[in-house]
Structure formats: C-alpha cells, structure tokens
Amino acid sequence: MKFFIPGVPDHGVEAAYQALYDTAKAQLRTPITPRRIFRLEYVHDKRNRHLAVGEAHPEHHRYQILAILESKPYIVMTRDLSGEIGPTFMVNGTEITDVTEFENNELAGKA
C-alpha cells in the first residue's frame, strides 16, 4: 500500500502528515518514530482488533483513521464525519500483535 492520508491529494500529503505528526508530538510530548504505519493488529479486552488508515475506527464508527504514529503508546489520529479533526486514540504497545507499514513510505501515485 502506497502512503496516503484519506481525503488529501498527493501533493498535500507530506504537509498534512507533518501537521498531524507535529500536533501529536506537541500534545503528547513523547518521541514518535519516522515509521509510517498503515495497519495495526492488536488484542484489547481479549478481543482481536485492527486499525487501518482510511477505515472507520472499529469501535467509534463516526471517526475515520487519518494516521497511525509509532510511539509509546501508538497514536491513532482521526477525523469525524464532518471532516473536522477527531479524537486521538492510543494503543498500548504491549497489545500489538502485528504492524504493517506503507510500502517504502512512498507517496500514493508515485513510483
């Protein structure tokens, strides 16, 4: 899967990603790795779950996942149905069973 942010054209993806990254870093004051995560598989409350960029949050369907940032814990940035930034969700690293990165961290539509 090529790197993308839902609803953002290819030419604006890097700036949008940097804005999400900067917001998360400022709010949470935690180191964030440069890895670009597409999907997380994890176990929460003894149930297997997954989060993927572009999909609705599995428990809060009105929020679409914009970005998943690798940190301690993982940071999941969302937006609501109106397009406004939604809540930030956290996933404890000890719950993670699999991490899928975007291919080569390339922008969508570019070879």
Mean pLDDT of successive 10-residue stretches along the chain, which has 111 residues:
92 94 92 95 94 94 96 95 92 96 62 33
Domain that holds residue 29: 10-105
Segment (H or E) for 23: helix 13-28
Determine, yes or no, domain membership for 5: no
Encoded tokens for 91: 């996933």
C-alpha R_g of the chain: 13
User: pTM to 2 decimals?
Assistant: 0.89
Number of domains the chain is built from: 1
The three-state secondary structure class of 35 is: coil
How many CA atoms does the CB half-sphere of 111 hold within 13 Å? Answer: 0
Name which of 11, 10, 18 is nearest 77 in CA terms. 18
Sign of the dihedral defined by the CA atoms of residues 29, 34, 36, 41, in that order: negative
Residue 95 resides in a domain: yes
Residue 3 covered by a domain: no
